[in-house]
A and B are shown apart, each in its own frame.
Chain A
Amino acid sequence: MSAMETHGEFRELVASYVIGAVPEDEAARIRTHISTCAECRAEAESLARVTSSLDLAVAPEAVPEGFADRVMARASADSVSRPVPRRRWTLAAALAAAALVALAAVAGGAWLDARSDLARNERIIAALLDSRDGLNLAGAGDAVGKVVPRSEGGSVFVARGLEPVSGDRTYQLWLMTGSCEEPTAPSCTIRNGGTFRPEDGIAVLTSARPWRGYSRAAVTIEPRGGSARPTTDPVMISA
């Protein structure tokens, strides 16, 4: 293509671009054009929907024997060593009060580590720790924490007084349902509540996941990235 590419030339290429059939050097120029040309952008979006529907035309094929087991073996090996990436949220400290609501609304089920926004807002932490509902966790020294159900349906975990952990370790929250006087009992279901690293001893995690009437909560220290199940004794646990 010449340097004097016209709108018409790009327009001819939009379909090839959308279907992934344009070499990378040309694709960069088309992207630039599309970003400034409403007509080509609309056409690209429309054809992209058509193109992705082609995936549905492929007939399923029975997987080879033992396929699921092989995937699960790799996934299990992965669980200990690899973190599930979490999205970080950085909001101004002044927005901290609103942040709890906003984070829970957009989190889509993931527990979010919001300490960087909220750590400085001692009043919110104190109010959450003092709220009537929820599970109180206690640990060594001054460490206290709480899991609080929120009226919108999500939940918040706050804690303070936590010791720092080394770089290859992380704190991990566990939420239990069932009869959990003895957390190792089969009648007790333990759910991963998310990993976190405290800042100035403070941690805040919010989740849009529905509160499930948890019977107990605990915090352990796990290898970086977290574990599928607790592997150490709790450093904090609710009564």
Chain B
Amino acid sequence: MDRSPDAALADRLMQREEAALREVIELHGGVVYGMARRVVADPNLAEEVAQDTFLALWRRPGAFDPLRGTLRAFLAAVARNKAVDLVRREESLRRRRESLLVEVAASKDLSENEQVAAVDDREEVRRALGELSDVQREAVVLAYFGGRTYREVARELDIPEGTAKTRLRDGLIRLREVLAGYDG
């Protein structure tokens, strides 16, 4: 069987090979930290989220299934969940809002490796997000990266709850259409 690089790394993590974890951090640290920074305003807390993400992989490498997706996507999802949990838990933290809505430009400090691996699908998804109306995008980004419920989205944007639900729904359906177009 042809083992993907992700599957090979997962095998080595299962054997608790520390060098494998370091490789994973080198490959995906930027994605994980970028996600944490996107959701959590405080850089120290963002680092904590990013560290916890890699430790979670170290403690339970079996949670990553190479057959179900890439390691990069897995780690990004873990980081987002941890970051959203944190901002939900710590109501005292100033949640990001303005900066959430600004597309963060790719950092110039990234390794070439990361750029090559990441740029295609990132651009695709960002272009797809650009196809949403402004109000759809705002609702989707607040809910997904901001961890807001539709009620909180409604309150923050001063719109009826029904409208918030509709914007989320229309936004995801539009995203699906646009992304399907890229596949075909």
Contacts and interface: CB of A to CB of B under 8 A. Distances in A.
Interface of A: 12-16, 18-23, 46-47, 50-64, 67-68, 70-72, 74-76, 78-79, 82, 84-85, 87, 108-110, 191-192, 209, 226, 228
A85 B60 CA distance: 7
A68 B26 contact: yes
B92 interface: no
A75 B58 contact: yes
Q: Kindly name the residue among A21, A51, A226 whose own CB sees the greatest number of chain B CB atoms within 10 A.
A: A21
A51 B144 contact: yes
A36 B80 CA distance: 29
Nearest to B66: A108
Given A16-B168, A109-B10, A74 B51 contact: yes
Interface in B68-106: 73, 76-77, 80, 84, 103-106
B62 interface: yes
A110 B65 CA distance: 12
Given A20-B143, A109-B10, A52 B179 contact: no
Nearest to A227: B16
B33 A61 contact: yes
A67 B52 CA distance: 12
Contact of A58 (B25, B34, B55): B34
Given A59-B122, A109-B11, 16 more contacts: A16-B143, A21-B150, A21-B168, A46-B176, A54-B144, A58-B34, A59-B34, A59-B106, A62-B30, A62-B110, A63-B50, A67-B33, A71-B51, A72-B21, A79-B18, A192-B15
A63 B30 CA distance: 6
Contacts of A67: 25, 29, 33, 47, 50-51
A62 B14 contact: no
A192 B168 contact: no
18 contacts: A13-B165, A15-B173, A18-B172, A21-B168, A22-B150, A53-B125, A56-B118, A57-B126, A60-B33, A63-B29, A64-B33, A67-B25, A67-B50, A78-B58, A84-B16, A84-B61, A85-B60, A209-B11
A225 B150 CA distance: 43
Contact of A56 (B84, B125, B153): B125
A19 B143 contact: yes
B109 A62 contact: yes
B149 interface: yes
Contact of A68 (B29, B80, B106, B149): B29
Contacts of B62: 84-85, 87, 108, 110
A64 B32 CA distance: 12
Give the size range of B's interface with the partner: 35 or more
* Nearest 10 A/B pairs, CB to CB: A60-B30, A62-B109, A15-B169, A61-B34, A21-B143, A55-B76, A57-B125, A63-B29, A60-B34, A68-B25
Contacts of B128: 53
A60 B165 contact: no
A23 B10 CA distance: 35
A13 B92 CA distance: 29
A55 B6 CA distance: 18
Contact of B172 (A12, A15, A58, A78): A15
A61 B59 contact: no
A61 B125 contact: no
A16 B149 CA distance: 8
A53 B179 contact: yes
Contacts of B121: 53, 56
Contacts of B173: 15, 47
